[in-house]
Amino acid sequence: MLIAPSLLSCDFSKFGKEIERMDLAGADYMHLDVMDGHFVPNITFGAPVIKYVRSFTDKVFDVHLMISEPLKYIDDFCDAGADIITFHVECDSHIEQTIDKIISRGVKAGLVIKPNTPASAVFPYLDKLSMVLVMTVEPGFGGQSFMADMLPKVKEIKEEINRRGLNVLIQADGGIGTGNIKACAEAGVDVAVAGTSVFKAPDPKKAIEEMKNLCK
């Protein structure tokens, strides 16, 4: 299991240092939640901030766009140093054009589904994707409760990926910690996003290790 701490739970007055701290704690990806106050009822940060913190680690920058029109901003996030850009299938941009735009910039493309969106919504695009993100909370805020009823969607997507012989990772995001990460692994999750459970832990390194061990 790869662990992607969500920086949404960090101390933003020292964003760069928080990224360094997660790097040292053994994070695999840095999960960066971009919200526009329109697609979701919350606002976080955009490409300029990501550009400034890019130099604090060499780890993968996994940018989760919770914005209505991702296509308009793909160049900005690529220029800022994103390694993976995931955007929502429920957004207003043309899905295939947005995927093609990300790939044309040499960045990996991922598609996200909200809790009420069926697994099959990503199937038409699966061949072009590097990652599918299954939300296990309603997007917008950290610290919500994990929705275990999303795990059958993970299984369904995993089966389709295997059936087509593709190399697509499945990520889950929202409410993940030591109490449910094993169930995520068993369902087929490859990358777990963890905000509260890592940042609020007394020792984030231990928290990450423990989560990884539970999946072995």
Residue 95, C-beta contacts closer than 8 angstroms, at least 6 positions apart: 89, 111, 125
Among this protein's residues, is 33 annotated catalytic? yes
- CA–CA gap between residue 29 and residue 7 (Å, rounded): 10
User: CB–CB of 33/60 below 8 Å?
Assistant: no
Contacting range for Zn ion; rule: CB under 5 A; set: 14-22, 61-69, 84-92, 199-207? 61-69
Residues of span 32-61 touching ligand DX5 by CB under 6 A: 33
- Using CB under 5 A as the binding criterion, the count of chain residues that bind Zn ion stands at 3
If the CB atoms of residues 64 and 114 are measured against Zn ion, the closer one turns out to be 64
Among 64, 88, 101, 114, binds ligand DX5 (CB under 6 A): 64
- CA–CA gap between residue 6 and residue 10 (Å, rounded): 8
- Contact between 68 and ligand DX5 per CB under 6 A: no
User: CB–CB of 47/79 below 8 Å?
Assistant: yes
- CA–CA gap between residue 173 and residue 20 (Å, rounded): 21
Distances (CA, A) of 129 to 83, 87, 103, 189, 198: 13, 11, 9, 15, 28
- CA–CA gap between residue 14 and residue 107 (Å, rounded): 27
For ligand DX5, which residue has the nearest CB?
A: 195
Residues of span 112-151 touching ligand DX5 by CB under 6 A: 137, 139-140, 142-144
Residues of span 19-48 touching Zn ion by CB under 5 A: 33
If the CB atoms of residues 28 and 173 are measured against ligand DX5, the closer one turns out to be 173
If the CB atoms of residues 168 and 194 are measured against ligand DX5, the closer one turns out to be 194
- Please give the residue ranges that form the binding site for ligand DX5 (CB under 6 A): 6, 8-9, 31, 33, 64, 137, 139-140, 142-144, 173-176, 193-197
